[in-house]
A and B are shown apart, each in its own frame.
Chain A
Amino acid sequence: MIKSDFEILTLETYTEMDKYDSIYVVFRTK
């Protein structure tokens, strides 16, 4: 989905309000 058109710079999991499992992703156009 992302890989074909973008370069992934970072992709990490985190928690929101100490309880909600979440993911953030930063990517750049190739």
Chain B
Amino acid sequence: MAESYDGAELIKILQKYLPENSTVLELGIGPGKDMDILKKSYTVTGSDNSQIFLDKYKEKYQDADLLLLDAVTLQTDRKFDCIYSNKVLHHLTKEDLAKSLQRQKDVLNSNGIVFHSFWKGNKVENMDGLLFTYYEIEDLKK
């Protein structure tokens, strides 16, 4: 097990693989904490399936580039150098995660980089109507 990380630490790891000024699509920005960090090094487009989160972020940063996107269908014609999410895709079923990854491939430029984090484990929970799908390393290696 590695040491304790938050979004800032995860983005430091991303920086080993993704050159500065690359274009990044973040899936599920929520309140925008990771997007704020990503913007220091990259040209970031934030997305969320919730218009409320996008509106709140736009209140803080009127020039923010934001898209209302479903993480499974990713309905956009735009392409990016990287797709990033931090504890977002666990809200999808395993089947929908597979569909999302297929779609992510289409939304990436050649040699595109993908960074995602998940809860570790082998259970599926439903809390307050939200799905939480946990993954083991072996699941993700498939």
Minimum C-beta distance from A10 to chain B (A): 7
Whole-angstrom CA separation of A26 from B105 in the bound complex = 13
Q: Which of B2, B98, B111, B139 has most chain A Cβ within 10 Å?
A: B2
- The interface bits of chain B over 102-123 (1 if a CB of A lies within 8 angstroms of the residue's CB, else 0) are 1001001011111111111100
Asked if B3 and A24 sit within 8 Å, CB to CB, the answer is: no
Q: Say what secondary structure dominates the interface of chain B.
A: mixed
Cβ contacts under 8 Å, B142 to chain A: 1-3
By the criterion of a CB under 8 Å from any partner CB, how many residues of chain B are at the interface? 38
Interface of A is mostly: strand
Which residues of chain B have C-beta atoms less than 8 A from A3's C-beta? 141-142
Are the CB atoms of B135 and A23 closer together than 8 Å? yes
**Residues of chain A lying within 8 A (CB to CB) of residue B141:** 2-3, 8, 11
Seen from chain B, the residues whose Cβ lies within 8 Å of a Cβ on chain A are 1-6, 9-10, 13-14, 17, 87, 94, 97-98, 101-102, 105, 108, 110-121, 135-137, 139-142
Query: Which A residues lie at the B interface, using CB under 8 A?
Result: 1-3, 5-6, 8-18, 20-29
